[in-house]
């Protein structure tokens, strides 16, 4: 239970740190009594939060010193494992398609998470006091205490903002005056971003589209209707766009689109770039270019727009493209079969420096470029 009766909004600083893990964004939380600081990845594409725990025994990773101490549940006077027959345990098992996960002699619920990247975390489902950046605390915060973790980063773990009741966002938002969250991930890691849970600053410059709960994943989605390169529509049947929604996934770097859309986008961008003297890269599944003059001019690159319901997401050149290596510039768009086949995802590279608003009460998604 929240110690204060109501939280108008709770704000945290967001940072990018490639030494922790490239193309991820982090915020600080504290768990336990006394509180232990942990730097965790912000992930709108997953639900259950987890941190690596001190009693990790199977597969563990080296946690960076500035990510905080590894959480030791035995040192927290407020930590407890969640029982096997509890609603939280049964609901989590059903959502994650875990057929059975329980240590009966300890009456301890187990969790098992696997990500599209192949990474995973397995451990005990527990609850403890969560302290936010504002120093407000939530008792009985549900999270995973990871004891078997295949993870490529060196930060403390992941916090999920997905749609289920036990997500970080939904546990915190129960005590806010308005059910929403917003964030801005900085393009330059020297800058700081921000994340707010609860009421957000209303901005007339925000563009809005419909926010949708994705069918079989605990994630938020938007509906793409069309796509343009330099203002010209792609040569593709518009029906293909509406066959799948697009998940907004802060934990994924690139943007994945259906293969027919990718092929049409590739054709349109390549036509524009070859006309300006750029050579197309050899990899058919990545849209990359090399300047024949030896250096790339960002002004040469075309604009890319994604038409949505009620609005259009216009990507600045530095969001639609990035420097993969010296003088090699690539598009942030990849075909769906390079990720999870049949799943479209709007990754963080395309919308860095954008203010994004997930207004759950009105089921609207807002965006504004150049906000951080």
Active site residues: 43, 249
**Rounded Cα distance, 229 and 218, in Å:** 32
Q: Reduce the DSSP state of residue 13 to 3 states and report it.
A: strand
**Rounded Cα distance, 13 and 11, in Å:** 7
The two structure tokens encoding residue 213: 């709960």
Of 120, 197, 119, nearest to 111 by C-alpha is 120
First to last CA, the chain: 33
Do residues 106 and 82 lie in contact, with contact meaning Cβ atoms separated by under 8 Å?
A: no
Do residues 71 and 212 lie in contact, with contact meaning Cβ atoms separated by under 8 Å?
A: no
Do residues 136 and 35 lie in contact, with contact meaning Cβ atoms separated by under 8 Å?
A: no
**Rounded Cα distance, 214 and 218, in Å:** 7
In the numeric block, the tokens 């203002």 are attached to 231
Helices marked H in the chain = 87-95, 168-173, 239-242, 259-274, 317-320
Which long-range CB contacts under 8 A does 118-121 form with residues at least 24 apart? Answer: 118/150, 119/150, 119/151, 119/152, 120/148, 120/149, 120/150, 121/50, 121/52, 121/146, 121/148, 121/149, 121/150, 121/151, 121/157, 121/158
Do residues 253 and 196 lie in contact, with contact meaning Cβ atoms separated by under 8 Å?
A: no
Do residues 336 and 258 lie in contact, with contact meaning Cβ atoms separated by under 8 Å?
A: yes
In the numeric block, the tokens 């010209």 are attached to 232
Do residues 144 and 113 lie in contact, with contact meaning Cβ atoms separated by under 8 Å?
A: yes
Q: What is the distance, to the nearest Å, from the Cα of residue 283 to the centroid of all Cα atoms in its chain?
A: 27
**Rounded Cα distance, 97 and 29, in Å:** 28
**Rounded Cα distance, 13 and 206, in Å:** 21
In residues, how long is the chain? 372
């Amino acid at each position: 239970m929240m110690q204060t009766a109501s939280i108008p909004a709770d704000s945290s600083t967001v940072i990018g740190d490639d030494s922790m893990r490239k193309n991820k964004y982090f915020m600080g939380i504290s768990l336990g009594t006394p509180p232990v600081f942990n730097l965790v990845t912000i992930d709108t594409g997953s639900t259950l939060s987890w941190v690596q725990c001190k009693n990790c025994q199977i597969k563990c990773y080296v946690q960076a010193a500035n990510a905080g101490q590894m959480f030791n549940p035995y040192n927290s006077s407020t930590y407890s494992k969640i029982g096997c027959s509890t609603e939280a345990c049964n609901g989590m098992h059903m959502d994650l398609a875990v057929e059975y996960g329980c240590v009966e002699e300890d009456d301890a619920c187990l969790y098992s998470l696997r990500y599209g990247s192949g990474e995973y975390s397995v451990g005990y489902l527990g609850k403890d006091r969560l302290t936010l950046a504002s120093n407000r605390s939530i008792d009985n915060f549900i999270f995973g205490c990871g004891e078997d973790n295949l993870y490529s980063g060196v930060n403390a773990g992941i916090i999920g903002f997905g749609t289920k009741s036990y997500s970080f966002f939904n546990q915190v938002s129960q005590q806010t005056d308005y059910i929403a969250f917003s964030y801005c991930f900085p393009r330059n890691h020297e800058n700081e971003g921000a994340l707010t849970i609860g009421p957000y600053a209303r901005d007339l410059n925000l563009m809005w589209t419909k926010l949708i709960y994705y069918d079989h994943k605990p994630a938020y989605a938007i509906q793409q209707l069309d796509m343009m390169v330099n203002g010209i529509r792609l040569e593709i049947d518009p029906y293909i766009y509406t066959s799948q929604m697009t998940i907004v996934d802060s934990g994924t770097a690139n943007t994945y689109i259906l293969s027919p859309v990718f092929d049409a986008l590739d054709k349109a961008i390549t036509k524009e770039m070859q006309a300006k003297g750029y050579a197309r890269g050899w990899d058919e599944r990545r849209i990359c270019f090399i300047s024949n003059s030896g250096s790339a001019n960002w002004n040469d690159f075309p604009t890319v727009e994604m038409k949505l319901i009620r609005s259009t997401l216009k990507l600045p050149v530095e969001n639609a493209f990035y420097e993969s290596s010296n003088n090699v510039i690539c598009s942030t768009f990849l075909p769906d079969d390079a990720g999870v086949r049949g799943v479209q995802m709007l990754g963080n590279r395309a919308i860095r420096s954008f203010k994004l608003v997930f207004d759950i009460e009105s089921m609207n998604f807002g965006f504004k470029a150049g906000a951080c």
